[in-house]
Structure 1
Amino acid sequence: MSRIVQAYYDNHADREWSRLENPYSRVEWLSTLRLMDRYFPDTGHICDIGSGPGRYAIELLQQGYQVTLMDLSSNELALAQKRIEGLGLQAEAYLCESAINMHVLHDQCCDGVLVLGPLYHLLKEEERSQVIRHAYRILKPGGVALLAYINSWGVLKAGVSEFSESYRDPEEIYKYLQEQQLHENEGFTQCYFTIPAKAMEEIKAGGFEIITYAGAESFLAGMREEVSRLYIEDPVVYGNLLQAASETSEAPQYRDATEHMVIVVRRPENSEFGG
């Protein structure tokens, strides 16, 4: 993975910790927690690949899971360790590696895998496929993984309120109907946007069974300003919408047009790794 991406996260570790606390991103947070609660096994070892500062790892540790954290940013991992140990919790390991170097993890070492960031930043299909194959390899047969992508269709919708000035060029609008590779000066850092069908294709090629997929922001996708306003002006309405959005993130009528797409997959029983 690019040193540009590593430098970005090294420089923004605290921002990554606080990002999921803002009123709009809380939708993504609750939807993802719901998917973890619904599809992960009740106990076991979870590998959090691209763990960042450990927000999801902490939730899992508090529920009694064993958790290994891996991230390419040493600053993110240091913050994760500080937060985890500050709560009196203990992770299995903190591994400072890119997701494409997942070979440091043993075959069939975990019952569940989170890949909630690395696929946002891998511009080459062969690198994304490598991450997917390794996620398959480290899972026990029957194990479940959550893999996230940034969805171009959802970014197109969000752009109406967040960066509409770029749509003065109509070609910019139509770019979001397909996958995109954005370099450092085009996005928040080097990043990859895709569309649902392409993401499913990549994951199926890695041998996984797709259980379901979700749009993390559900029907609130692209409504950052409105959601943030309701958080201040009408907390009851905000709370009701947050709950409903997290509960409907898998609904077909919403999930194809949200910024964050989370695909829930299973390694088939009696399967072998041949990659």
Structure 2
Amino acid sequence: MSEVVRGYYDEHALQEWHRLDDPYSRIEFMSTLTLLRRYLPTSGHVCDIGSGPGKYAIELLKQGYQATLFELSARELELAQIKIQEAGLHAEDYICEDARNLHVLNSSFYDAVLVLGPLYHVRNLVERHSIIQEAFRVLKPGGVAIFSYINAWGVLKAGVSEFSEAYRDIEYIYDYLQEIELDENRGFTECYFATPVEARAEVLQGGFEIVTYAGAEGFLAGMRTDVTRLYREDRTVYDNLLQAASDTCESPQYRDATEHLVIVAVKRHGD
């Protein structure tokens, strides 16, 4: 990732810690935890690549996994250490490094790897392929990888309520029907948005077998305003929707049109 991306996350470390507590982003968090529960091995070494301030690592540590945090932003990694210590937990290691430099990790060591953010920000295809191939290398045979992409199709839908003024230019709408690269002036920082077709193809080209994929926001995708209103006005309805959306995040009728696409893949024995 570039210094632009590093600078963004250094500056917004605390915001990233709170982001997944937002009523709408909580759907993404709960759906991802659902996938971890369904598909990760029951124990072992996990490398959280692009760990941010440690939200997922803390959940893994609570469940008894041996977790290594691998993060570009020194400030986010420092915050993760603080939060993990406050929770009375202990991580296996903290590595402050760019996800394009996974060669520093040992081969065939991890039972699972999470790549839940870096691929959002690597606009170079060769570099994305390298990250996926390196994730394959560091996994044990039979190990599970979980990759997350920002889905251009889902962003297009969310934009109707979140940035509809941009659609005064009709070409802007059609841009989101294909993969798209944004600089910090158009995206929240330097970004790469995939389509589900392209994202799955990249993971397969990395040597993995895809087990399943999910749309993190499920049937609530693009409904930030309504979801937030229900959180404030009717917590029972909100909680029920949150549970149902996370439980059904793999449903094919929803998963191709959500903002976050999550792919579960495996390194088969003998690979």
Q: Same fold (TM over 0.5)?
A: yes
Q: 1:138 is matched with which residue?
A: 138
How far the C-alpha of 1:167 sits from its partner, in A, is 0.4
Q: Equivalents in 2 of 1:270, 1:174: separation in Å?
A: 43
Q: 1:15 is matched with which residue?
A: 15
Q: Equivalents in 1 of 2:230, 2:90: separation in Å?
A: 37
How far the C-alpha of 1:176 sits from its partner, in A, is 0.4
Q: Residue 21 of structure 1: SS of its match in structure 2?
A: coil
Q: 2:184 is matched with which residue?
A: 184
1:111-149 Cα shifts (integer Å, max 9, x gaps): 000000000000000010010001000000000010000
Q: Residue 140 of structure 2: SS of its match in structure 1?
A: strand
Q: Residue 256 of structure 1: SS of its match in structure 2?
A: helix
Q: 2:2 is matched with which residue?
A: 2
Q: Equivalents in 2 of 1:115, 1:122: separation in Å?
A: 12
How far the C-alpha of 1:32 sits from its partner, in A, is 0.2
AA in 1 matched with 2:216: A
Q: 1:230 is matched with which residue?
A: 230
Q: 1:254 is matched with which residue?
A: 254
AA in 1 matched with 2:31: S
Q: 2:75 is matched with which residue?
A: 75
1:7-44 Cα shifts (integer Å, max 9, x gaps): 00000000000000010001000000000000000000
AA in 1 matched with 2:177: L
Q: TM-score normalised to the size of structure 1?
A: 0.98
- Once the two structures are overlaid, the 10-residue window that deviates more, 82-91 or 3-12, is 82-91
Q: Equivalents in 1 of 2:165, 2:89: separation in Å?
A: 46
Q: Equivalents in 2 of 1:56, 1:219: separation in Å?
A: 23
Q: TM-score normalised to the size of structure 2?
A: 0.99
How far the C-alpha of 1:49 sits from its partner, in A, is 0.1
Structure 1: stretches of 5+ with no match in the other structure: none
Q: 2:171 is matched with which residue?
A: 171
How far the C-alpha of 1:270 sits from its partner, in A, is 1.1
- The number of residues matched between the two structures is 271
How far the C-alpha of 1:88 sits from its partner, in A, is 1.4
AA in 1 matched with 2:220: L
AA in 2 matched with 1:147: F
Q: Equivalents in 2 of 1:130, 1:205: separation in Å?
A: 10
How far the C-alpha of 1:91 sits from its partner, in A, is 0.6
Q: Equivalents in 2 of 1:204, 1:9: separation in Å?
A: 29
Q: Residue 207 of structure 2: SS of its match in structure 1?
A: coil
AA in 1 matched with 2:132: I
